[in-house]
Amino acid sequence: MNMQRLSHVFLLVFLLAAVSGACWAEAPEVADAAVACDLPPELTTPDVAFPRVAAALSARHGVEILALGSGSTVGDTSGKGGPAFVYSRPAASFPYHMLEALEASRPDARFHLTVTGGRNMTAEAMLEVLQQEVAAHHYDLLVWQTGTVEAVRGLRPETMRDVLEDGIEAAAKAGADVTVVDPQFSRFLRANTDLSPYQTTLQQTAMMNGAALFHRFDLTQGWSSSGAIDLERASRSERDHTITLLNICLGRALAKFVLTGAAGAAH
């Protein structure tokens, strides 16, 4: 690998760490009441209903949620993020804000969230974790974030497709609704990586296997384009605030997505 290519790889990894949503150790909290997130209905309404979530809400025994993904889902407590980033606050990543939004929207219901996966994990590496989790515990909903690592590494989309099919099947057989979360928008990532084969694979695989696709890419692209949440153009002093805001809004969008899917199953 030549030095120019190597520098591009390091820069891409650095940027992905920034946009992953894992918060810095000293990131300030954003006052919840002050956050106004743009949540377009077309991006917060799933194409399929969530009957298992609806049944759990109706039975009032609690909704069990498994969030599986790479750095933006779990944060990173490994200490391998490098000196520029300290991933010591995984509870501020977007699945936890989804949980907060679910609890705020449905105070009559109980929700329990399990978050697993790891930084730089591919869907293939996550499959065994998924299979072990659904074999050991009951979940009503699987939120599976993947695709970015495959795109950065230039891995075969067909391999990701086969893995997704196996994972969705395992979760469905275990009684869970499934939501697949696609990559987060990044100008640098879009300019240096061909995302389209992976986005197409995620969309088609979800559709053909009865899963929903949460369009994180389209949401975050809209926020970036409007300037509402633009991490890549945030100043150093604004970065921590912007990362936190990004996670809050993604969490709220995903909560709305889940509850809309459950409401669709109830009718």
pLDDT in tens, 166-207: 999 999 999 999 999 999 999 988 899 999 999 999 999 999
Measured over the CA atoms of residue 237, residue 239, residue 244 and residue 249, the dihedral's sign is: positive
Decide if 46 is inside a domain: no
Report pLDDT for 168: 98
Report pLDDT for 5: 47
- Domain extent, residue 221, equals 3-25+55-266
d(CA 60, CA 9): 48
d(CA 145, CA 214): 9
Total domain count for the chain? 1
- With contact defined as beta carbons under 8 Å apart, do 53 and 63 qualify? yes
pLDDT in tens, 240-263: 889 899 999 999 999 999 999 999
- Three-state SS at 213: strand
The angle that helices 157-173 and 196-208 make with each other, rounded to 10 degrees, is: 30
Give percent helix, percent strand, percent coil of the chain, each to the nearest 5: 55, 10, 35
- Three-state SS at 75: coil
Decide if 178 is inside a domain: yes
- With contact defined as beta carbons under 8 Å apart, do 32 and 97 qualify? no
Decide if 137 is inside a domain: yes
d(CA 105, CA 57): 12
Decide if 206 is inside a domain: yes
d(CA 20, CA 246): 10
- CATH number for the domain harbouring residue 236: 3.40.50.1110
d(CA 111, CA 190): 35
Decide if 117 is inside a domain: yes
pLDDT in tens, 207-234: 999 999 999 999 999 999 999 999 889 8
Residue given tokens 């986005």 in the structure block: 199
Any idea what DSSP says for residue 32? G
Decide if 238 is inside a domain: yes
Decide if 90 is inside a domain: yes
Whole-number percent of the chain with pLDDT over 70 = 81
CB atoms within 10 A of CB 218: 15
pLDDT in tens, 45-94: 999 999 999 999 999 889 999 999 999 998 764 444 332 222 335 568 99
Decide if 33 is inside a domain: no
Q: What is the pTM of this model?
A: 0.86
